[in-house]
Structure 1
Amino acid sequence: MFKRKRQEIPDCAAVVEDELAVSAILRFLAEQGLRPTPVNYELAYIRANDGDSLAARAIDAILIGGDTVSQAQADHIVGAYRALGGGRRESEEETAGHAELRHQTRHLAELTGAAMTATGQFGRDLSQHLDDLDQDSPPFAATIAAMIDRTGETEARLSAAMQQIDSLNSELMAAKTDAARDALTGLANRRGLQLHLDALEPGGCTAIAICDIDRFKAINDRHGHQVGDRVIRAVAESIAASCEPHLVARWGGEEFVVVMEGVPLATAADIVVRSNRTLQNRVFRIRDTGEALEPITLSAGVVMVADGKAEEAITAADALLYRAKTEGRDRVIWAADPPDAPAAIAA
């Protein structure tokens, strides 16, 4: 006999707590005149549950002055909160080299804190002035002028804080882009390649090629690493130009990966062959002596991505690249059908 699955009884206290939280969020959005969109829900959630964050402080700085949060401000604050990784702690890789950004974050905190201080002082002054008004003692013109001046100062500080959020957000986005780029060639690095592969359409027609500069070690040994770096940059530029618009990434060392979407295997192999021929026709010279290097060639393996398994495709392409090297270099080998009988093209 089949056993009846035991039904879990919900925690009533937790249900009530969740309902109260949703009610508080909706009430906050209504008070601010904000529509119940995902961004605005996130804004309200940040204020309620991450009160120590810079984003929550920026929200409070606006509210203390008696203003409501505009949609533009909500978008700015949530965008900056996301860019900073929300409330989580960054990994060592994410924080490495970002000292300047951390400095700007502290500066933003100071700006927002100063705005909050100004609005708090304004509230205290206003309260004092109201007491004075009740006693019919203050000079009304001076009181009103002081209020207006304080309001202007607060608005200026809040405006500066929002501008700083914009600047920080832009620089964080640039830092993330830099993290996906190879410093030597400007191509996508392994991280950038992985991001691209993760975004591929499942079941799409995609070919992957791994290309390696032939006899590169001999160039390094004879002419030094500076010349070797120049050769890598020049080869990267040549492959990227001849394979455009397809993504070219530096896989490491003198190896490059080309991702060709919407391209069948034979066409992909032909693209890499033509890229190799273009490279061979270029003349590379030593900058200091003018000496011409031997023609530079590529070896490559090309395969199709099956069932969205890009990592397996890269492994297969690497095996074909190794075969191209052992069979004499300067050639492209692609995975034919059957797989154990690949066809080779001498470029």
Structure 2
Amino acid sequence: MRAGTGAARLAMVEDNSAQLFNRIGHFLAEHRLSPDPRHYAFAYRVCSDETGPLAQAVASLTDGGIRLSSRDIEALGGEIGTLAVAASPENAAKKADGLVAQTQMQVDGFTDMMHAIRAETQDFGRDLAASADAIRESRDTVGIDEVVRLTGVMLGRVRSAETKLEEATHEATELRAKLEEARDNARRDPLTDLPNRRAFEEAYAEQAATGARLCVAVCDVDHFKMVNDRFGHAVGDRVLKAIGEALIKACDGHLVARYGGEEFAVLFSGVGLQVARATLEEARGTVAAKRYRLRESDEPLGAVTFSAGLTEASCEEILGTAFARADRLLYAAKHAGRNQVQTAHS
């Protein structure tokens, strides 16, 4: 009896292991990740705890059929070892921003120090030059030549130090520019090159603080999962880029962001609901009228459309309130047949 129970348990363990192995293989294939140890370890952590914080973070990041990249894995703590709630994309981005801010402060302090040292060495050099001139004019000639020689050596060293400080200051200025670029990249979507969710949130807060008239739109590609399933993620990525470009062109002067997955957000500033709706309808009509074809085979992809929810936003309310209202309007547009814009006042 015990032998039978043990065999049953062993069979159950082997079956669970086989299922886990299959899930890991499917995960790697779905995201087109090579089965190297780092990717396999990351896939194991996701698939072995499908309700855990890491799996939830991956689900949020890949919502809408977006594939994980090596950069995403690193941002989610892809190295073998730590698995914590801090592995969420939001916390990873905050950590990156903190490191950038600390480094920026160090660079600022270093540059200021370089300027101060360079000013001091220039003053010191002038004093040494004046001392050398005074010695030359002195009537006491004992040892004067040697003192002048030593002073000349010191002046040479000072000039060499100034040259090195100048080079270090230039390097620090270049590093500061690179850090600014890194900070901008942290607020930009790598696929569409649009501002990302964080940039959108920051822009809303800045505009609301000025008391500007604001409208918020949430746009979602219709049946996007069907595009990914039928034609693959590469085609889906191109569709997202095309819709992003259409929104940018129609909404010129306003902020268009990729909010996540197949979802875009538009922040209209300085216009009312009627103007914002007309602008958004122009973008919707442009996208709906275009007929996409596969680049590889010229096979028609058919019409691609998006639905949108648009609302006025009071400068006193937080983005979450306005966004939730726009999101509800978006789902109303979906239920009403898609390929349309639903609006409401704040």
With structure 1 as the length reference, what TM-score do the two structures score?
A: 0.60
Query: 1:258 aligned to 253, 257, 266, which one?
Result: 266
Corresponding residue for residue 333 of structure 1: 342
Corresponding residue for residue 232 of structure 1: 240
Corresponding residue for residue 7 of structure 2: none
Corresponding residue for residue 248 of structure 1: 256
Q: Distance in 2 between matches of 1:178 and 1:157?
A: 31
Q: Which runs of 5+ in 2 are unaligned?
A: 1-92
Q: Distance in 1 between matches of 2:256 and 2:339?
A: 19
Corresponding residue for residue 53 of structure 1: none
Shift of 1:140: 4.1
Partner-residue secondary structure (3-state), 2:220: strand
Q: Distance in 2 between matches of 1:318 and 1:191?
A: 17
Mapping of residues 130-141 of structure 1, within 5 Å: 136=143, 139-141=146-148
Corresponding residue for residue 214 of structure 2: 206
- Structure 1 residue ranges (4+ consecutive) displaced by more than 6 angstroms after TM superposition: 95-98
Query: Could you tell me which amino acid in structure 2 is paired with residue 244 of structure 1?
Result: D
Corresponding residue for residue 171 of structure 2: 164
Higher helix share: 2
Does the CA-based 8 Å contact 1:204-1:262 persist in structure 2?
yes
Shift of 1:136: 2.8
Query: 1:306 aligned to 284, 302, 314, which one?
Result: 314
Shift of 1:311: 2.1
Q: Distance in 1 between matches of 2:94 and 2:311?
A: 35
Residue-by-residue CA offset, 1:17-53 (whole Å, 9 max, x unaligned) = xxxxxxxxxxxxxxxxxxxxxxxxxxxxxxxxxxxxx
Does the CA-based 8 Å contact 1:108-1:164 persist in structure 2?
no
Partner-residue secondary structure (3-state), 1:212: strand
Mapping of residues 20-169 of structure 1, within 5 Å: 92-94=95-97, 136=143, 139-169=146-176
Does the CA-based 8 Å contact 1:299-1:321 persist in structure 2?
yes
Partner-residue secondary structure (3-state), 1:284: strand
In structure 2, the CA distance between the partners of 1:161 and 1:237, relative to structure 1 (3 Å rule), is same
In structure 2, the CA distance between the partners of 1:91 and 1:293, relative to structure 1 (3 Å rule), is closer
Q: Distance in 1 between matches of 2:316 and 2:234?
A: 39
- 2:282 aligned with 1:279: no
Q: What RMSD in Å do the two structures reach over aligned CA positions?
A: 4.0
Does the CA-based 8 Å contact 2:104-2:176 persist in structure 1?
no
Q: Distance in 2 between matches of 1:270 and 1:152?
A: 65
Identity within the alignment, %: 32
Residue-by-residue CA offset, 1:89-136 (whole Å, 9 max, x unaligned) = x963236799x999x99x989x99x99xx99xx9xx99xx9xxx9983
Q: Which runs of 5+ in 1 are unaligned?
A: 1-89, 337-347
With structure 2 as the length reference, what TM-score do the two structures score?
A: 0.60
